[in-house]
Amino acid sequence: MIIAPSLLASNHACFGKEAVRATKAGGDWLHLDIMDGHFVPNISFGPQAVKAIRPLTKIFFDVHLMCSKPEILLEPFARAGADEIIIHVELGEQVEPLIWKIKQLGKKVGLAVNPLTEISLVQPFLDKIDLLLVMTVNPGFGGQEFIHETLPKIQQADEWRREKQLRYRISVDGGINFQTAAECARAGADTFVAGTSLFGQRSLKAAVTKMRKIIHANDPAFADLKV
Ligand code: DX5
Ligand code: ZN
């Protein structure tokens, strides 16, 4: 089980300090949301910011591209220190070449699917990716409410993973808090991106610890062991 605090919800005046704080708080990965003002109606930060943070922590950088032209950004983010690059399945025909390009750059590959997009669209790529990101809000902003209708997608992704004996991670992103993390864990998610619910607490460390306990308590694999 992976917990990935999302830098989008941190204090943007001091990304470096916030990245170190997330690391010290026990975050497994750091989630970095890249928005281009076109694919989503918001702009966040670019490769220069990621490059500046990179030397301050060894934490795994999970870079989520919400961008219309990811092809021009893969190399810059790879050079800036991304460990994984996530692109969106909504990009259509571009998806396959983008996956290969990310692999060529030596990075892990993630594929994201928006709440209104059919989960079946990711099926052809499941054997080529390291992580499937099920968006549990419409991308673009932190602090939105979890969309419960996305839960069956997580279950479906988990079913496919078992059936096809694949190993991709199932990540959830958007509106993940102590309650919704439990629901997603029960549905089969193993990677939890959380911004507001973690950075919004007085103690980030206490929040990460609490979320981890809740996720473990709702881990179906663990429930099987108990039987
Ligand atoms: C939303 C981003 C998320 C965002 C989640 O477009 O992809 O990663 O940071 O933020 P919270 O946890 O606040 O919903
Ligand atoms: Zn994200």
Q: What's the mean pLDDT in 170-183?
A: 98
Indicate the DSSP class of residue 206.
Answer: H
Please state whether the predicted TM-score (pTM) of the whole model is above 0.75: yes
Quick one: what percent of the chain has pLDDT higher than 90?
Answer: 97
* Whole-number Å distance between alpha carbons of 100 and 222: 35
Cβ(88) to ligand 1 under 6 A? Answer: no
Task: Reply yes or no on whether the pLDDT at 193 is more than 90.
Answer: yes
Helix (DSSP H) and strand (DSSP E) numbers for the chain: 9, 8
Ligand 2 centroid from CA 42, angstroms: 13
Mark whether 33 is an active-site residue: yes
Mark whether 127 is an active-site residue: no
Cβ(195) to ligand 1 under 6 A? Answer: yes
Q: What's the mean pLDDT in 45-68?
A: 98
Cβ(193) to ligand 1 under 6 A? Answer: yes
pLDDT at 44: 98
pLDDT band at residue 188 using 50, 70 and 90 as cut-offs: very high
Beta bridge partners of 5: 194
Mutate to test the pocket of ligand 1, among 6, 179, 184 (most ligand atoms within 8 A of CB): 6
Q: Indicate the average pLDDT of the chain.
A: 97
* Whole-number Å distance between alpha carbons of 46 and 65: 10
Q: What residue owns the CA closest to ligand 1's atom 10?
A: 142
pLDDT band at residue 226 using 50, 70 and 90 as cut-offs: low
Cβ(140) to ligand 1 under 6 A? Answer: yes
Q: What's the mean pLDDT in 217-222?
A: 91
Ligand 1 centroid from CA 195, angstroms: 6
Exposed/middle/buried for residue 60 (C-beta within 10 Å: 0-12, 13-18, 19+): middle
